A and B are shown apart, each in its own frame.
Chain A
Amino acid sequence: MERRSPAFTIFIHACALLLAAIILAPIAWLFIMSISPAADLAAKPLRWWPQAADFSRYQTLLSTAENSAGAAFTSSLRNSLEIAGMATLAALALAIPAGWAVSRTPAIGWSLSMVIATYMLPPVALAVPLYMGLSHLGLLNNVFGLALVYLTILAPFTTWLMKSGFDSIPREIEAAAMIDGAGLFQTLRIITLPLAAPVMATAALFAVLLAWDEFFYALLFTSDQRAKTLTVAIADLAGGRVSDYGLIATAGVLAALPPVLIGLVMQRALISGLTSGGVKG
């Protein structure tokens, strides 16, 4: 290892502090806004730290009283959870068999390449027919309709992750089980799928994050509490005439909490997923 001069060591630490400040300052400010009394946020000069922490906005948003700000928020929270859950399950159900098939039979790999190439399509290129189609099926402003549309984003990505996951499981293990007399589905169930469990978990987490983050289709295809997602509810708050900025910040903190926790806990798995070439779309 290279020996470092004291000046260089100080320089490195200073840069590290700067980087930490750049990353943390906006996030910390979001949280501080959420617990500052409205008067502090409107004060000039701005009060950077609340005189007394005020957590009442969290209570307001999480209350389920009829017609309150909380009712709109909690229903969008529930819709986001339902849609992300359904879309993720459906995407995995499609991705696991398809990913295994492409991994073991490279001759059909071009079909997966075509599916992945759809990543280049801007959602606006599909939006009008999808709108008309959902309207025709009576699935506008409906959680099932939106979960179905989310497969356009989730299914190609999860299939690609599953395919690379199966690639790293040697097919010799499957062959050995089959020689011992196991049928194909028995082999998959007993040997392959348990070995692929970590990849499935990573794929599921990515899918949940993608669905949780989605905004464009949700903005177009939902109109009220029956299907509006969190992202749309927050954009409504930010674009509306809400006078208390702390309330907007609180909604942001609550919406960011699940993906941030997933990100921190699953750091290693997520980064290896990212660095193997994929990126959150």
Chain B
Amino acid sequence: MSSTWMTTRAWLLMLPLLVVMVAVIGWPLVDTVGLSFTDAKLVGTGGSYVGFDNYTNMLSSSNFSRTLVTTTLFAVVSVAAEMVIGVLAALLLNQQFHGRAILRALMILPWALPTVVNATLWRLIYNPEYGALNAALTQLNLIDAYRSWLGEPATALTALIVADCWKNFPLVALIALAALQAVPRDITAASLVDGAGPFNRFRFVILPYLAGPLMVALVLRTIEAFKVFDIIWVMTRGGPANSTRTLSILVYQEAFSFQRAGSGASLALIVTLLVTVLAVAYAALVRKTAGSAA
């Protein structure tokens, strides 16, 4: 069979997917680029060409810079916490103890819980009048009066990060656990014979096996955290006083609440660019990690 025919056949089988992807992703993306240079509204006529005005206005607005800081803070803190807690949980699950199989099965629960259900659950836990957190802390005498965890700018972002971590650290733990179980027994045994302490054993014997899978998890989790919308929308809608407003929430408000499609489109593309730069930088890092681990 000729290789040209093989390639043509492969393209034919690929075609339906590509057509649909162009229709639901390619065309909308191009259209967003077009819109970003206009003052179009969400409904009504197309709007007129305004050049780079949307971009310059957006980049110089204090809303944007503040939202960028909030988003970065959310992404960095929640992903870092998920990584650390996830690896610790994996090291624990790699030990032998009674009920290990059950505990490992339970780890899938937070991951399987729909994001909106998770957000709703934590919103109820943080409830200022009847929430379980207030009740527990009061009954343990840790606080005197009930507090509005999601209603105060000082605590709202932290409360969101805790809810996000709870849902996502088990995934990191499961990925890390799978990698840990791939570490050959005789290597850890040899390092024991050589007299390596627990810390050195983790750093020089185990970590190289974890580095690759963890980097992949880190990249994917960071991209997701940077795009975060659902959990914040359900728990705070970006409030109080915009203290939890992330970039995706800002785009939503601009394009759909204020119906400024053009300006919303420019902001969406700025976010896309930021995520792409992040992903490319990470990809280089992953390649480096994979190279050094091999």
Taking Cβ atoms with an 8 Å cutoff, the residues of A that contact B are 2, 9, 12-13, 15-16, 19-20, 22-24, 26-27, 29-30, 33, 41-42, 44-46, 48, 93-95, 97-98, 100-102, 104-105, 107-108, 111-112, 115, 118-133, 148-149, 151-152, 155-156, 159, 184, 209, 212-213, 215-216, 219-220, 230-231, 234-235, 237-239, 245, 248-249, 252, 255-256, 259-260, 262-264, 267, 270-271, 274-275, 277, 279-281
- Interface size bucket, B side? 35 or more
- A97–B221 contact, CB under 8 A? no
- B255–A124 contact, CB under 8 A? yes
User: Quick check: is B238 within 8 A (CB to CB) of the other chain?
Assistant: no
* CB-defined contacts of A20 to chain B, threshold 8 Å: 99, 103, 106
Contact of A270 among B108, B166, B179, B233 (CB under 8 A): B108
A interface: dominant SS: helix
* CB-defined contacts of A280 to chain B, threshold 8 Å: 111, 171
* CB-defined contacts of B154 to chain A, threshold 8 Å: none
Asked whether A215 and B116 contact (CB < 8 A) given A97-B14, A270-B108, the answer is: yes
* CB-defined contacts of A125 to chain B, threshold 8 Å: 28-29, 32, 265, 268-269, 271-272
* CB-defined contacts of B6 to chain A, threshold 8 Å: 104-105
Taking Cβ atoms with an 8 Å cutoff, the residues of B that contact A are 6-7, 9-11, 13-14, 16-18, 20-21, 24-25, 27-29, 31-32, 35, 42, 89, 92, 95, 97-100, 103, 105-117, 119-125, 127, 129-130, 132, 135, 138-139, 166, 170-171, 174-175, 178-179, 192, 213, 216-217, 220-221, 223-224, 226-227, 229-230, 233-234, 237, 247-248, 251-252, 255-256, 261, 264-265, 268-269, 271-272, 275-276, 279
Asked whether A94 and B103 contact (CB < 8 A) given A234-B120, A277-B216, the answer is: no
- B114–A231 contact, CB under 8 A? yes
A151 to B100 CA separation, bound complex (whole angstroms): 38
* CB-defined contacts of A262 to chain B, threshold 8 Å: 112
- A19–B103 contact, CB under 8 A? yes
A271 to B173 CA separation, bound complex (whole angstroms): 11
- B97–A108 contact, CB under 8 A? no
* CB-defined contacts of A270 to chain B, threshold 8 Å: 108
* CB-defined contacts of A279 to chain B, threshold 8 Å: 171, 217, 220-221, 224
B86 vs chain A, min Cβ distance (A): 11
Asked whether A95 and B17 contact (CB < 8 A) given A23-B110, A125-B269, A249-B124, the answer is: yes
- B113–A256 contact, CB under 8 A? yes
A96 to B229 CA separation, bound complex (whole angstroms): 31
- B10–A105 contact, CB under 8 A? yes
- B229–A124 contact, CB under 8 A? yes
Contact of A45 among B129, B139, B234 (CB under 8 A): B139
A281 to B112 CA separation, bound complex (whole angstroms): 12
Contact of B130 among A41, A108, A256 (CB under 8 A): A41
- 17 residue pairs bridging A and B, Cβ less than 8 Å apart: A23-B170, A24-B106, A26-B166, A95-B17, A115-B17, A120-B223, A121-B272, A123-B229, A125-B268, A127-B251, A129-B27, A129-B32, A133-B27, A213-B114, A235-B120, A248-B120, A275-B179
Output the nearest chain B residue to A22 by Cβ-Cβ distance: B166
Of B25, B109, B175, chain A has the most CB atoms within 10 Å of the CB of B25
Output the nearest chain A residue to B174 by Cβ-Cβ distance: A271
Of B107, B113, B123, chain A has the most CB atoms within 10 Å of the CB of B113
